[in-house]
Amino acid sequence: MTSVPLVSVFSADDSSKVTAKHIPLPAVFQTPIRPDIVSFVHTNIAKNRRQAHAVNPQAGMQHSAESWGTGRAVARIPRVSGSGTHRSGQAAFGNQCRKGRMSLPIKVWRRWHRRVNIKQKRHAAATAVAATGIVPLVLARGHRISQVPQIPLVVEDKIESYEKTTDALNFLKRFGAFEDVQKVVSTKVVRAGISKQRGKKYRVRKGPLVVYFNENAKLLKAFRNVPGVEVVNVTRLNLLQLAPGGQLGRFVIWTQSAFAHLDKLFGTYRYTSIIKDGYQLLRPLITNPDLARIINSNQVQEKVQPAKTTKVLHEVQKKNPLKNSKAMDRLNPYAKKQRAAAVAAIKANTKGTKKIKKNKALKKASRAAYNKVAASLNDATKAAVQEEQDIKVKYFSVQKGAAQTE
Amino acid sequence: MSQQVLWEVVKGNNAFLVKRNGLTLSTDPFNNTGVQTYSSTGFISKNAVGVVSTSGKVNQINNINLVTKKSTKFQQADRKAKNTQSVYASTLAVKHGVHTASRVIRKRFGTSRVGLQRAALRKLVKLNRANAVRRRNELAAAKAQKK
């Protein structure tokens, strides 16, 4: 980027007033975002606050148990000696046994802490700081920043002299940070598990992080009772606070001097850091990570071959042209006209003939004629049957009404 | 910040991610489909419009807000603007009818990102219809009360 992004410093009393209009962004905020480094460093550094614990070394072993050996129809596990109690003869010592010692009992000399290379730690911190200046990342971490006037939020040094919590609260309200505090308050939950009994009754979310510079600042006391808010000096920026849980994008409120100190702390791309001796900010692998923009740029589009369109050689299912008129048209373009001509011809033939109107009189007449014919047919059939009967009676001496056996 | 880079950071875990029943969903206000995918996740892109339903007062015609993403190089809210402004979004209430809102959506996306445009419009239409039903019920209830 040739142009350096600029940041405004806000007045502590009035969030609409800007005391310094355009301050260049410290180079840390341009560091490439490296969630892999942050994740690695975080998992290791998070182990460093652990306190040694161990299992009682004698646990499960305070017996004079001996194995009964073979030949007694029992498993060969050591068994508790003595008699007169249920416990005698029961299995002991093994991790599989009830009341036995655990396998690989925890020792105090377990390696609790991890050391991480200084450079890695510094890169992680730099990335975490950069991420605090990127709105989508702060949103993704879950901070409520819809009312915050600017990210990164830089405020004049006046807040470093706040002593009262009310001042701190009002300041947060003015700058839209109170929504985040409210989130913390409303999501305070009783912790699940035994830690309740070990002094960690509640699980509290992280709210804004206030970063100051001057060591004499009193704001620590002002802010420390506000739930969720943490206060830290720039010189002691902690990855565990900048990226809690290894998740980038904490909502940070900087004081002006703290913000200005970042360039000395982390250095820039032009000169290495003064304080972190010889530390050079990580350089990005790709200067322009916007793939879409690169692909759509003139330089790339000029060289690129035109996009291949899928050529359909034939349809997936064969359609019968004799039945499917569209398929027929594809084979014989003239077929469409032929069909139209046929239709037109039919129409032409029927053009002169009037459409027969069915009128009631005609209907009646035709019905009468039909009935007449039907009736005459009926009579004829009856007559024929009768005639047959008569002939039978006359020539075959069959009695009237008698059934024919033949 | 490049959408690609942000996606790599955010896709595994973010405040809007909801994983349920084997589905990966998102409560991102800029996401109009509800499913978390690279293109539909609006809060990481430079250009996005979210159609959001708000709990409004009774008798309010529409409970829809359009949340448009601001693409500013240095992210500062414009305090002078009337609409509720924040660092990353401007909210416009959809008051009377859906036409202006749809125009805003169309202008935002233009000829590119047609899929996103359609998703936003689809949601707008659906919310609008739901609102119509709600309003009808409210008016009916009000009438019944008057009687």
> pLDDT tens digits for A215-265?
989 999 999 999 999 999 999 999 999 999 999 999 999 999 999 999 999
Question: pLDDT at residue A2 above 50?
Answer: no
Mean pLDDT, range A23-46, rounded to an integer: 96
Can you give the pLDDT at residue B63? 60
Residue A330: left (phi > 0), alpha (psi -120 to 50), or beta? alpha
For A142, nearest residue in chain B (alpha carbons): B15
- Sheet with B89-94, edge to edge strand ranges: B49-53, B64-69, B89-94
Contacts of A114-118 with CB under 8 Å at 24 or more apart are A114/A44, A114/A45, A114/A47, A114/A48, A115/A44, A116/A40, A116/A41, A116/A44, A116/A45
For A176, nearest residue in chain B (alpha carbons): B86
What single-letter DSSP state applies at residue A136?
A: H
A310-319, A331-340, B11-20: the lowest-pLDDT one: A310-319
A48-52, A320-324, B97-101: the lowest-pLDDT one: B97-101
**pLDDT-based confidence at B80, cuts 50/70/90?**
low
Residues 95-114 of A with CB under 8 A from B: none
Q: Which helix (H) or strand (E) holds A23?
A: strand A18-24
Write the pLDDT tens digit of every residue in A84-141. 999 999 999 999 999 999 999 999 999 999 999 999 999 999 999 999 999 999 999 9
CB of A147 less than 8 A from some CB of B: yes
Q: How far is it, in rounded angstroms, from Cα B28 to Cα B46?
A: 14
**Residue A10: what are its φ and ψ, rounded to 5°?**
-95, 150
CA distances A28 to A7, A31, A270, Å, are 14, 5, 12
Q: Which helix (H) or strand (E) holds B146?
A: helix B114-146
Global pTM value: 0.78
Angle between the N-to-C axes of helices A35-45 and A118-132, in degrees from 0 to 180, rounded to the nearest 10: 120
Q: Please give, rounded to a whole number of angstroms, the shortest distance from the CA of A118 to a CA of chain B.
A: 23
* Positive or negative torsion for Cα A170, A172, A174, A176: negative
A243 contacts A128 by C-beta, under 8 angstroms: yes
Question: pLDDT at residue A80 above 80?
Answer: yes
Q: Give A350's contacts (C-beta < 8 A, 6+ positions apart).
A: none
A254 contacts A232 by C-beta, under 8 angstroms: no
Question: pLDDT at residue A336 above 90?
Answer: yes
Question: pLDDT at residue A393 above 70?
Answer: yes
B46 contacts B108 by C-beta, under 8 angstroms: no
Q: Please give, rounded to a whole number of angstroms, the shortest distance from the CA of B111 to a CA of chain A.
A: 14
Alpha helices (H) in A1-132, listed in sequence order: 35-45, 118-132
CA distances A331 to A316, A327, A341, B72, Å, are 17, 7, 18, 58
Give the mutation candidate from A17, A146, A183, A206 for the B interface (greatest B CB count, under 10 A).
Answer: A146
**A338-370 b/e (C-beta count within 10 Å ≥ 16 → b):** eeeeeeeeeeeeeeeeeeeeeeeeeeeeeeeee
Q: How far is it, in rounded angstroms, from Cα A315 to Cα A326?
A: 13
SS3 A376: helix
CB of A356 less than 8 A from some CB of B: no
Question: pLDDT at residue B132 above 90?
Answer: no
For A147, nearest residue in chain B (alpha carbons): B86
What ipTM was assigned to the predicted interfaces of this complex? 0.87
